[in-house]
Amino acid sequence: MKVLVAGNLGYVGPLVVAELRRQGHEVWGFDAGYFEPCLTVLASRPLSRPDCQLYGDIRNFPVDLLVGFDSVVCLAAISNDPMGKAFEAVTDKVNCLSTVALAALSRVCGVESFVFASSCSVYGNATGVVNEDAPVNPLTAYARSKLEAELALRRLADSELAVTCLRFATACGMSDRLRLDLVLNDFVTSALVNRCVELKSSGMAYRPLIDVSDMARACAWAASRRGSGFSVYNTGQAGWNFRIRDLAEAVGKQFGVPVKYGAKSEHDTRSYQVDFARFAADAPGVLQGQIEETLCQVMAGLHGIGFDDSDFRNSHFARLPHLRYLIATRLLDNQLNWIRE
C-alpha cells in the first residue's frame, strides 16, 4: 500500500511509520513539526523515518496530495486534556473539523481506508467495564473533539471508504519522541530522577493503558481494512485496566522506590475501565505488549540518553510546556500557527 500518516512526528507516529515500513508499505508523513526536535534517541541510532516527509498544517491540507494513496492514518491532534483546555478552539478545529475534512478529501481522492486515532476518554466517568456500545460521557474539550469526529466520520464511511476509529487506551512506552506527560511514563521517570513515584491525584481513578508499539500495530492492521464501512474499536488489552494508585505501587515495586502521595491530592473525575473483546476477536494476535516489559523499556530508554531532569514535567518532553515555549519565543502564535518573520 501507499499510506499517508498525518501527525507522524509526534509520540505515536514514529512507531506507526516503522511498523508500516516493516510490513513493506510505502509511507509518507505529513506533520506541522511542533514536536520534531523533542527527541529521545541516541545519535548512534537512526530515527524511524518515512519514505517521504512533508510539512504542513492539517487545518490547511493540500487538496491534491492524496491522489494515488491507498490508506490514511490520522494521528494529527492536540493530544491531551491540558492542551485541549489551553487551546480549546484549536482542539476542535484540528481534532474534529480538520480530521473530518481530511477523511472527506480521502474519499474524493479514491483512498480506500481511513484510520482515526480516537480515545477511550470519550467514556469520561463510567461505572463497570464498558464496551463500544456503552453510553459516552466526554468530560473535556479533548474527549469531546474525538467523539464529535467519530460521529461525523460515521456519515462518511461506505463501501468505498472504510473508516476505522481506534479508541485507544492511554498511551505508554518508549518512542523516538517520548512523552513524559502520560501517567505510566511519568511514574517511571519520577522513579528514575526523583527516586520515588509521585501521585498528583488521589490515585483512585481507573485508566486503561496501551503500549505505543501496540498502537502502531493496531494502526497498521486498520490501514489494511477495505470495504467495511464504519467501525469503532476500544483498542487495548484485557488486563491493562489499572487503578492509578495500583499502577504507582507496581512501578515503585518494579524499581525499588517508595510511592509519595500528595497531602492535598485531588480526585480525578475521569475514570473508566474498558472492554477490549471486539478488537481481540477481529484482530487476534495484533496486540503483544507486556506491562513489565513496557516499564523496563521506558527506564532503559531514559538511562540510554542519560536523562536526569528532575523538573521533567516542565520539560520539552511534556507537550503543553513545549507549546508554551514555542509561543513565548514567538515561533507559534496563540492559535498554534507558525509565525513567519
Is residue 248 in a domain? Answer: no
CB 268 within 8 A of CB 153: no
Over residues 315-320, mean pLDDT: 94
Q: Please name the residue that has the C-alpha cell 518508549.
A: 174
Q: Please calculate the CA angle 268-121-237 and round it to the nearest 5 degrees.
A: 105
Residue 115 phi/psi, 5° resolution? -110, 125
Predicted local confidence at residue 267, as pLDDT: 73
Give me the pLDDT at residue 183, please.
96
Is pLDDT above 90 for 184?
yes
Helices 13-22/212-223 angle, 10° precision: 50
Percent over 70 (pLDDT), the chain: 97
Angle ∠(207,77,310) on CA atoms, nearest 5:
60
DSSP string across 255-312: HT--EEEEEEEEPPS-EEEE--HHHHHHSTT-----HHHHHHHHHHHHHHTT---TTG
The domain in which residue 285 lies consists of 2-180+207-239+270-328
In a domain, 256, yes or no: no
Residue 265 forms part of a structural domain: no
As a whole number, mean pLDDT of residues 189-199 equals: 95
CATH number at residue 128: 3.40.50.720
In a domain, 195, yes or no: no
Task: Round the CA-based radius of gyration of the chain to a whole number and report it.
Answer: 19
Output the pLDDT for position 265: 64
Average pLDDT score, the chain: 94
Question: Does residue 338 form part of some domain?
Answer: no
| Residue of 46 and 196 predicted with greater confidence | 196
Torsion of CA 125, 286, 13, 142, to 10 degrees: -10
Given a cut of 80, is residue 229 above it in pLDDT? yes
Residue 43: pLDDT band with limits 50, 70, 90:
low
For residue 107, what is the enclosing H or E element?
helix 99-108
d(CA 28, CA 163): 19
**What pLDDT does residue 45 have?**
66
Q: Give the pLDDT confidence of 96-125 residue by residue, as tens digits.
A: 999 999 999 999 999 999 999 999 999 999
What digits encode the pLDDT tens for the residues 64-104? 999 999 999 999 999 899 999 999 999 999 999 999 999 99
- Helix (H) or strand (E) run with residue 64 in it: none
Rounded mean pLDDT of 289-297?
Answer: 95
Q: Is residue 336 part of a domain?
A: no
Instruction: In the chain, count H helices and then E strands.
Output: 11, 14
Whether pLDDT at 263 is above 90:
no
Judge whether 193 lies within some domain.
no
Strands (E), the chain: 2-6, 26-31, 52-55, 71-74, 113-119, 125-130, 162-168, 170-172, 197-201, 206-211, 230-235, 241-243, 259-266, 271-274
How big is the CA angle at 4 (ends 79 and 324), to the nearest 5 degrees?
30
Q: How confident is the model at residue 264 (pLDDT cuts 50, 70, 90)?
A: low
Residue 139 confidence (pLDDT): 95
Structure-derived torsion over alpha carbons of residues 89, 91, 93, 95, reported in degrees to the nearest 10: -160
Average pLDDT over residues 322-337: 96
Q: What is the pLDDT at residue 341? A: 58
pTM: 0.95
10-42 pLDDT, tens per residue?
A: 999 999 999 999 999 999 999 999 999 998 876
Characterise 330 by phi-psi region: left (phi > 0), alpha (psi -120 to 50), beta (else): left
Q: Is the pLDDT reported for residue 240 higher than 90?
A: yes
pLDDT at 41: 79
Q: How many domains does one find in the chain?
A: 1
Q: Is 28 a member of any domain?
A: yes
Between the CA atoms of 287, 292, 294 and 295, what dihedral angle is there, to the nearest 10 degrees? 160
| DSSP β-ladder status, 2-6 and 125-130 | unpaired
